[in-house]
Chains A and B, each alone.
Chain A
Amino acid sequence: MERRAAHARTPVGRSMEPTERDRDRVLPGARAGSVLLGLSMLAACEGRQSVLAPAGADARVLGDLFMVMLVGAVVLWLSVNGLFFYVTRINPAALSKRFANGLIVGGGLLLPSVVLAGLLGYGLSIMPDQRAPGDGLTLRVRGEQWWWRVEYWPEGADAPIVSANEIRLPVGQRADILLDSARVIHSFWIPALGGKMDMFPGRETRLSLHPEKPGRYRGQCAEFCGTSHALMAFEAVAMPPEAFDAWLRQQEAPAAAPATAQGQRGARIFAREGCGACHTVRGTKARGLVGPDLTHVGSRLSLGAGTLGTTLADYETWIAHTGTVKPEVEMPAYDHLDPADRADLAHYLKALE
Chain B
Amino acid sequence: MKRVLQTLAVLAILGALAGGAVVAFGLYNVSARAGHLPGVSWVLHATYRNAVRLRAPSKAQVPDLDDSALIELGARHYDTACRPCHAAPGQEQTATIAAMVPAPPHIETAVKDWQPHHLHWIVANGVKMSGMPAWPAPRDDDVWPVVAFLAAVRQGMDGARYAALTRWPEAERPRAYCLGCHGQGGSDHVPRLDIQNAAYLKTALRSYLDGTRASGIMAQAVSELSDEALDDLAGWFAARTPAGAGAGDVPPDLAARGRALANAAPGDPDVPACRACHGPGATEASELFPSLSGLPAPYLRAQMELWRSGAHGGGPRAALMRKAAQDLDDDAIAALAAFYASLSPAKRD
Question: B267 an interface residue at 8 Å Cβ cutoff?
Answer: yes
Contact, CB under 8 Å: B272 / A268: no
Identity of the chain B residue whose Cβ is nearest the Cβ of A276 in the assembled complex: B276
**Total number of B residues with any Cβ neighbor in A under 8 Å:** 25
Q: Main secondary structure on chain B at its contact with chain A?
A: loop
Query: Of A276, A331, A336, which contacts B316 at CB under 8 A?
Result: A336
Closest chain A CB from B277 CB (angstroms) = 4
List the one stretch of B1-9, B118-126, B317-325 in contact with chain A: B317-325
How far is it, in angstroms, between the C-alpha of A333 and the C-alpha of B271 when the chains are bound?
A: 18
Which residues on the A side are within 8 Å of B275 (C-beta)?
A: 277
A286 CB, nearest partner CB in chain B, Å: 7
CB contact under 8 A between A289 and B269, given known A272-B286, A273-B286, A274-B276:
yes
Residue picked from A274, A285, A289, A331, most chain B C-beta under 10 Å: A274
CA distance A310 to B290 in the complex (A): 34
Given contacts A271-B284, A271-B285, A332-B323, contact A277 B267 (CB under 8 A): no
Tell me if A288 counts as interface (CB < 8 A to partner B): yes
Chain A, 269-287, contact with B by CB distance < 8 Å: what is the 0/1 string? 0011111111000000111
Q: Decide yes or no: A274 and B269 within 8 Å by CB, A288-B264, A336-B316, A336-B317 being known contacts.
A: no
Partner pick for A272 among B263, B274, B285, CB 8 A cutoff: B285
Contact check, B285 vs A290: say whether CB atoms are below 8 A apart: no
Q: Are A289 and B319 in contact (CB under 8 A)?
A: no
Assembled-state Cα–Cα distance A288/B272 (Å): 6
| Given A271-B284, A271-B285, CB of A286 within 8 Å of CB of B323 | no
CB distance from B289 to the nearest CB of A (A): 6
| Residues B299-326 near A (CB distance < 8 A) | 316-317, 319-320, 322-324
Any B CB within 8 A of the CB of A182: yes
Chain A contact residues, majority secondary structure:
loop
A333 vs B316: C-alpha distance in the bound complex, in angstroms? 11
A79 to B263, CA, bound (A): 69
Q: Is the CB of B276 within 8 A of A288?
A: yes
Task: Pick from A272, A277, A330, A333: contact of B319, CB below 8 A.
Answer: A333
Query: Are B269 and A277 in touch, CB under 8 angstroms?
Result: no
Q: Residue-by-residue, is A311-353 near B (CB-CB < 8 Å gives 1, otherwise 0)? A: 0000000000000000000111100100000000000000000
Closest B residue to A270 by beta carbon equals: B284
The yes or no answer to B193 lying at the interface (CB within 8 A) is no
Scoring B residues 273 to 288 as 1 if CB is less than 8 Å from chain A, else 0, what string do you get?
A: 1111100001011100
Known pairs A288-B264, A290-B269 / 7 extra A-B pairs, C-beta < 8 Å: A271-B276, A271-B284, A274-B286, A277-B274, A278-B272, A278-B324, A289-B264
Residues of B whose CB lies within 8 Å of any CB of A are: 263-264, 267-277, 282, 284-286, 289, 316-317, 319-320, 322-324
The 4 tightest CB contacts between A and B, nearest first, are A274-B277, A277-B276, A271-B284, A277-B272
22 A-B residue pairings within 8 Å (CB atoms): A271-B276, A271-B285, A272-B285, A273-B320, A274-B282, A274-B289, A274-B320, A276-B276, A277-B275, A277-B277, A287-B263, A288-B264, A288-B272, A289-B268, A289-B269, A289-B273, A290-B270, A290-B272, A330-B323, A331-B323, A332-B320, A333-B319
